[in-house]
Structure 1
Amino acid sequence: MSKVSRDGSNTLLMISSLYNSLTRTEQKIAEIIKLDPEKIVYGTLTDLAEMAGVGDTSVLRLCRKLGFRGYQEFKLKLAQELVHPIHNVHGEIDENDDMSTMAEKITTENMLFLQNTLALLDMRELQLAVEAILHANKLIFVGVGSSANTAADAKYRFMRLGFDSLLVTDSHVMAMTLALAKKDDVVFAVSTSGSTKDLVDAVRIAKENGVFFICLTSQAKSPLTQYADAVLLSSSKESPLQGGAFRSKITQIHVLDILTTIIAVQSKERTMSAIERTSKAVSDKLY
């Protein structure tokens, strides 16, 4: 994707999602914007450039990387969002917190990340994913490590909805499977970082076959999203020492819940029949 689309997503959250892929100069501008967005709304392009100690063209470059045609369009969107500001995570766990306080803090933070995921989710990208899945011959879900568990959840849910679904988590099998993927198949990858080499290499092969590729990730710009036909973003905050954090999984499942619900509604006859048949198939296995 050459730039980020802007329909329905939140500018400040998008900056955070893109941050690691920005140049040092662009990161300096991004820090100034996040520090005092209200001041930016009332200033000029030159004001922002001077505050960040960069040139005007660098500010314009960042605006375009965010999907805006220019600085004024960026300011207008930012001003609209400040009327309904995003929620910032607060209340880090302290070793002196009792169990009740820990439970309350974790619940609050998870709720905020879900709200931020909704703010990040681009409706145009979501619609592209919905249309591709509805017309797919086969859905191939891929993921490694912790993301493989989320991919498995997705495969299970779409199977229950009546879609021909396949899950691949072994890197060698993944490469071979995607090498055989056909043009009317859809590949759906889950990767919080978007930088897992095994996934990137396999998806590159699949794209040579003309498949439609959907990526569920927390990084708007990453090696994996460069091949994506639709990018579904989830809000995440985890350090390299927190790989597979539950918070990342919760927001990914939330996006999948939105996606599968929309598909179930738009293809009601097909999905209701499949749900009934799969439910009956296991009904005698429950007490």
Structure 2
Amino acid sequence: MSVYPIILSQTKFTHRDNLKYPFEERGLQFGDGVYEVIRIYNGNYYLLTEHVDRLFRSAEAIKITLPFTKEEINDLLLELLERNNMKEDGKVYLQVSRGSAPRDHIFPSDVSANFYAYAQDLSRNLANLENGVSTITARDVRWEYCFIKSLNLLPNVLAKQEAKENNCYEAILHMDGLITECSAANVYLVKDGKVYTHPATNRILHGCVRMRVEKFVSDLNIPFMEEGFSVEDIAMADELFLSSSTSEIMPIVKVDNTTIKNGKPGTITKQLQQKYEEDASIKINKINQSV
């Protein structure tokens, strides 16, 4: 995926080749920052308000003062798409760090936050959405502030890489046998017509798509159970799926050596995929034809 040429840096637009930060940058040296990934369909943001709200929550949690209001960042992000003439499916990555200052663990004084955002094309993975994906399980070794969308992602990166090396799409993380989430997604188990997922505590990221899943489930009159489930429960699941801004609502058909039910996406997962497409105003629906 190639990066679009115009970059939003602080509150100004510049060509990507001109974007330079000092080497003493706290995001690079400490992971001292937060980020968001926002999905785009047909040149329009999906869940923009929810992502901006979470950005502010994450920044507040680590005591970063953002260099803009919610209204200002909304306008800037919309202008970013306009300046790149972006009309396709894609995503925007945005990042805020505490700023550039001589390296010291203590917060620097009188330093402005560094901010940038860029847009990329990202087509929908229709084959995976229709057929489902395989995953592995891995021990959750992350910190206790997973609700913050911080730059500290090394455990997530290692888990995702382990999944890739096992020819799998994702790694489902567990702590003492209890499932938390995936390396880059929330995860759900369907059993006896109910959808189970880990409660929205500090142990998981409170996903923007997760919030929509809860709404979709309510709209379909399906019980949404914020109850943890175990690694052992996976073998007994009727369905399993994950959700994120880039994965949408993705069926899981295999975990480690266990095939979920008949190895095909289940009915509730397909219904939720259809609700997602409707909510995101996705024009071309090539999945869920059998729902």
Q: Is this a same-fold pair by TM over 0.5?
A: no
Q: Which one has a bigger Cα radius of gyration? A: 1
The normalised TM-score by structure 2 is: 0.24
Structure with the higher strand share, 1 or 2: 2
Structure with the higher helix share, 1 or 2: 1
